[in-house]
A and B are shown apart, each in its own frame.
Chain A
């Protein structure tokens, strides 16, 4: 009786919004599939954590080197209580956000300039190609010499990585805009600024968002590498510090916080996608 009732209730919830029985069935199938994927993802995560914890307790792996979930949990709480984890995370997030925003804006402006001037885009093309394929991390030590061992070097490091990616991705997106759409808008007498505003930019929104997503990751890489090299604070610093004093619990806790922070930042950018790409099914 009660079971029956629950099942009906669940079914009704899964097929909510259905217009006809067939449509309801369709919705239910889609939602069931989604649920199955989520559930499996969750189980996978829990299993991995459990295996890690058990393996360490049974000494199949050495927790002194690999750390273990319970130790990470305790380290995290200790650091949360004295606030230090928030300080370090905050600094890393601040540096990442700064270089992400500056890199995106400056990179997009440069891409617009290149689109505007066919001549300069041709002139600058080989430089951009070479800069793009250079591992920017190799420049890190030089930035320290030029800018000192502070936040300036870290942000410059991250900025160099994110700005070049942005230029390349956004400019390529601009170039891929259907020339016939430009022809169409020219039949109405559009000038170059209007072509940019009404066709090139809106048509490139998907590319720009893709660039943003790549960019968050890139800025993060730049910041962490920068912190490895020079910092006295930040998650990158904590990881290096933990490693140097052989406090693997500390290093691992920082890595976990880093992963979660990266996921949150990425998700925030992904939200933009839903907002701006409403016209795509």
Chain B
């Protein structure tokens, strides 16, 4: 008997159609992601990383191929997935606390018992004192943390995180990477994380998938293993294998500075 992967992407292609043309965003993507796996997706800007997450979440349907989550096409109503979009899209008419309650309200989970959990999340991420603030009173990094908690609060089995730490300063970023990775791995969540930061990808994940320039294809797929076992992001940065992974992914990414390869 073969194990059904948690997320299965079979020869998926997607084109965006607009009145003045079409964009080949992704072409023939194949990926299988197991339960409890922490996978990072890296690739040049515009290669279709966000599109890939939208496909997995069920917000978009592929033009060809199929996406399966637990063996079935994904549906946004299934409440299995938590998707943190690339921008926070906080509702400016709701306070921090009410913004975080949004997902729970929609899924009818805003019962007394979850309030405790939300309180803990707020405290843990340094937002407790700001829970009655409106989004326009927050800094960029705080907004991003609110968006992260909003996603974590509904406690989904699978998390799709689109550059969740991009707006944070370096220290906060390292701390949050550490916390989030530890929490999610302990809870055995399946995580797909999109990032521009190679060291973040290597530090946090069990696996790093490199997507090529548009139309996006899977260019490389690295299993990240450390001799010392499963490490926390903080420890991995000190592990001897870290630099090696970093350099290999960097080569695959094949980043050219704008203009150096003009035809």
Contact = CB atoms under 8 A, between A and B. Distances in A.
B and A form one assembly = yes
A188 B134 contact: no
Contacts of A198: 102, 105-106
Interface in A110-160: none
B136 A281 contact: yes
Interface in B118-165: 134, 136, 154
A17 B207 CA distance: 57
B136 A191 contact: no
A194 interface: yes
A180 interface: yes
Interface in A210-224: none
A27 interface: no
Contact of B106 (A185, A280, A281): A185
Interface residues of B, number: 26
A186 interface: yes
Nearest to A178: B89
Interface stretch (B30-38, B75-83, B183-191, B222-230): B75-83
A188 B154 contact: yes
Contacts of A189: 75-79, 106-107
A203 interface: yes
B93 to A, nearest CB: 5
Contact of A203 (B75, B77, B93): B93
B109 to A, nearest CB: 10
Interface string A173-211: 000001011011111111100100011001101000000
Contact of A279 (B77, B134, B154): B134
Given A199-B91, A279-B93, A180 B85 contact: yes
Given A188-B107, A188-B154, A281-B136, A181 B102 contact: no
Contact of B85 (A184, A191, A199, A279): A184
A188 B59 contact: no
A186 B102 CA distance: 11
B106 A205 contact: no
A180 B106 contact: no
B43 interface: no
Interface in B69-122: 75-79, 81-83, 85, 87, 89, 91-95, 102-103, 105-107
A181 B147 CA distance: 12
Contacts of A194: 106
Contacts of A279: 92-95, 134, 136
B77 A183 contact: no
Contacts of A185: 102, 106
B76 to A, nearest CB: 5
Contacts of B82: 187
A203 B91 CA distance: 8
Query: Which of A187, A190, A198 has the most B CB atoms < 10 Å from its CB?
Result: A187
Interface in B15-58: 57
A185 B89 CA distance: 10
B93 A202 contact: yes
B59 A191 contact: no
B77 A187 contact: no
Contacts of B81: 187
A188 B102 contact: yes
Query: Which of A191, A202, A279, A280 has the most B CB atoms < 10 Å from its CB?
Result: A279
Contacts of B78: 189
Contacts of A180: 85, 87, 89
Interface in A81-130: none
Given A183-B59, A281-B136, A188 B89 contact: no
Nearest to A205: B93
A201 to B, nearest CB: 10
Contacts of B93: 202-203, 205, 279
A194 B75 CA distance: 16
Contacts of A280: 92
A190 B59 CA distance: 12
B76 A187 contact: yes
A183 B102 CA distance: 13
A246 to B, nearest CB: 55
A205 to B, nearest CB: 7
A184 B89 contact: yes
A198 B77 CA distance: 16
The 5 A-B residue pairs with the shortest CB-CB distance, nearest first, are A187-B83, A188-B103, A189-B77, A184-B89, A188-B106
20 contacts: A178-B89, A180-B85, A180-B89, A181-B89, A183-B89, A187-B83, A188-B102, A188-B103, A188-B106, A189-B75, A189-B77, A189-B79, A189-B106, A190-B76, A198-B105, A198-B106, A199-B91, A279-B93, A279-B94, A279-B136
Given A189-B78, A279-B93, 19 more contacts: A180-B89, A181-B91, A183-B59, A183-B89, A184-B85, A186-B59, A186-B76, A187-B59, A187-B76, A187-B81, A188-B103, A189-B75, A189-B79, A191-B77, A194-B106, A198-B105, A202-B91, A202-B94, A279-B92
